[in-house]
Amino acid sequence: AQSVTQLDSQVPVFEEAPVELRCNYSSSVSVYLFWYVQYPNQGLQLLLKYLSGSTLVESINGFEAEFNKSQTSFHLRKPSVHISDTAEYFCAVNPPGAGSYQLTFGKGTKLSVIP
Amino acid sequence: SQTIHQWPATLVQPVGSPLSLECTVEGTSNPNLYWYRQAAGRGLQLLFYSVGIGQISSEVPQNLSASRPQDRQFILSSKKLLLSDSGFYLCAWEGAAGTEAFFGQGTRLTVV
């Protein structure tokens, strides 16, 4: 069994300030790790993912996340946020080679960027 | 390229009425298909998944059912809606072996 914990349900941050959204997971096997973003009344979009290799992964819009195996964490960071980053962010895990029916999501963190 | 369509976008239904939500995928064959429900503050709950035509697995006992009449079509149904069925329903299909899931735009269902 696996589980995902997103420690903060809501994170307000001022525009151009840095932000970190925290994600911890537990699993008895190795996992793939994902961050999805959801804008209001829309579906989820993949933001970035860790499958293997470099533990630091980046998205095209300036977010990055680092896989830390010893701390079982996959925190999402951005050095300077924009108003357009306001959305809900979901961390998820999935065992390698499994179908997404084993994809486990956290409860989400709502990021609010304040002008 | 692959696309996923889900409709309707919003739906208001009375208690006891039937439900049918449809999801179709284009640009891929034999996808794994999923229905999730999202309730405020509770994250995403997997309801059903399907690995092929006519093959449905239920993750949570409930008032809902799913069917897959065609390879790229996935339908979520209910004979009689309950107030507790209100929520945001998301259809998704799976990329290569669990490396990514692609979501539809969702249906906001309000049962009144």
Reported as a single tens digit per residue, the pLDDT across B30-82 is: 888 999 999 877 788 889 999 899 999 988 767 899 999 999 999 999 999 99
Residue B18: band (very low, low, confident or very high) from pLDDT cuts 50, 70, 90 = very high
Residue B96: band (very low, low, confident or very high) from pLDDT cuts 50, 70, 90 = low
Percentage of chain A lying above the pLDDT 90 cut: 73
Q: How far apart are CA A115 and CA B107, in angstroms?
A: 30
Q: How close, in Å, is residue A81 to chain B by CA atoms? A: 23
Check whether A104 has a pLDDT greater than 70.
yes
Which residue in chain A has the smallest CA separation from B93?
Answer: A100
Q: Do B104 and A43 touch (CB under 8 A)?
A: yes
Percentage of chain A lying above the pLDDT 70 cut: 97
Q: How close, in Å, is residue B58 to chain A by CA atoms? A: 10
Check whether A24 has a pLDDT greater than 90.
yes
Choose the closest CB to B98 out of A41, A90, A94.
Answer: A94
Residue A85: band (very low, low, confident or very high) from pLDDT cuts 50, 70, 90 = very high
> What confidence score (pLDDT) does residue B15 get?
97
> What confidence score (pLDDT) does residue A98 get?
66
DSSP string, B4-64: EEEE-SEEEE-TT--EEEEEEEES-SS--EEEEEE-TTS-EEEEEEEEETTEEEESS-SS-
In this prediction, residues B9-14 reach a mean pLDDT of 96
Retrieve residue B99's tokens: 């490396």
> What confidence score (pLDDT) does residue B97 get?
66
Check whether A73 has a pLDDT greater than 80.
yes
In this prediction, residues A61-73 reach a mean pLDDT of 94
Q: Do B44 and A46 touch (CB under 8 A)?
A: no
pLDDT, mean over chain B: 90
Retrieve residue B93's tokens: 């299909």
Which residue in chain A has the smallest CA separation from B90?
Answer: A43
Lowest mean pLDDT among A9-13, A78-82, A86-90, A94-98: A94-98
> What confidence score (pLDDT) does residue A94 get?
85
pLDDT tens column, A37-47: 999 888 899 99
Check whether A109 has a pLDDT greater than 80.
yes
